[in-house]
Amino acid sequence: MTGPIGVFDSGYGGLTILDAIRRELPQYDYLYLGDNARAPYGPRSFDVVYEFTRQAVHHLFERGCQLVILGCNTASAKALRTIQQQDLPQWDPDRRVLGIIRPTAEIIGSLTRSRHVGIFATEGTIRSESYDLEIHKLYPDIRVTGVACPFWVPLVEYNEADSPGADYFVEKRIRQLLSADPLIDAVILGCTHYPLLLPKIRRYMPATVNVIPQGEYVARSLRDYLSRHTDLRDRCSQGGQAHYLTTENPDRFREQAQLFLRQPVEVETITLG
């Protein structure tokens, strides 16, 4: 049985991950699911994020996906391990669920010289310390400093990323991070919305600091993963198509998808839970 590669996010930011993956691996079919009706996941508890993510992954499996990417940092931080350890063995041990934190952690060692790294992310991802844990497993010598950016997601979703008002919120968090550790020379954008703020982030970030969006590294990691797991690769259908699911209003999804993907999409509304 073959099926599309599933990409799940609580909202719209995962579209930046899907976009990067499709540029790297255009031959595959993709099925994107945004749980937009219950977003944001960032402030929710571990148990709630796990249950919502579990429902979404199960739905994508029912649609034929053999592999699901959690294109959401909060879901990757709070739900991935439990789904991999508890649910996959019961559902189908041959299918896979992967997150987006580890691929970024793996690459960071080659992107910092000072060994001082910053993370911009949602409150939930920062509190989980998932980046700290993953980075320290691979690079115990790297110091990680995280800053939560609660207003950045609304700025993107309300199409204010290019507005003058966004400058205040972006500059404030950059100052906060660099005050906490002036030796930082690499910053991970640990939320999939944040790449849409890149022009402003780069405006206020010192030129000596490497700003790292996740998409390209997640895409390269997935390419390598599929090259090593040929049995799974052969079960991912290759028609070059992408389809979209949302738990919210389809008009709202189409409007946001235009922001993130710069192209119109057709979307189907579903119910989870």
CA pseudo-torsion sign 258, 263, 269, 273:
negative
175: CB partners within 8 A, 6+ apart: none
191 is catalytic: yes
Cβ-count burial of 265 within 10 angstroms (0-12 exposed, 13-18 middle, 19+ buried)? middle
Query: CA–CA separation, 273 vs 268, rounded Å?
Result: 17
Q: By three-state DSSP, how is residue 36 classified?
A: helix
Q: By three-state DSSP, how is residue 29 classified?
A: coil
First to last CA, the chain: 26
Are 184 and 118 contacting, i.e. CB atoms less than 8 angstroms apart? yes
Annotated catalytic residue: which of 65, 72, 149, 236?
Answer: 72
Query: CA–CA separation, 169 vs 38, rounded Å?
Result: 25
Q: By three-state DSSP, how is residue 212 classified?
A: strand
Are 72 and 122 contacting, i.e. CB atoms less than 8 angstroms apart? no
236 is catalytic: no
Annotated catalytic residue: which of 65, 149, 191, 236?
Answer: 191
**CA neighbours within 13 Å on the CB side: how many for 61?**
18
Query: CA–CA separation, 219 vs 103, rounded Å?
Result: 9
Q: What is the largest CA-CA distance in the chain?
A: 53
Query: CA–CA separation, 248 vs 244, rounded Å?
Result: 12
Catalytic residues: 72, 191
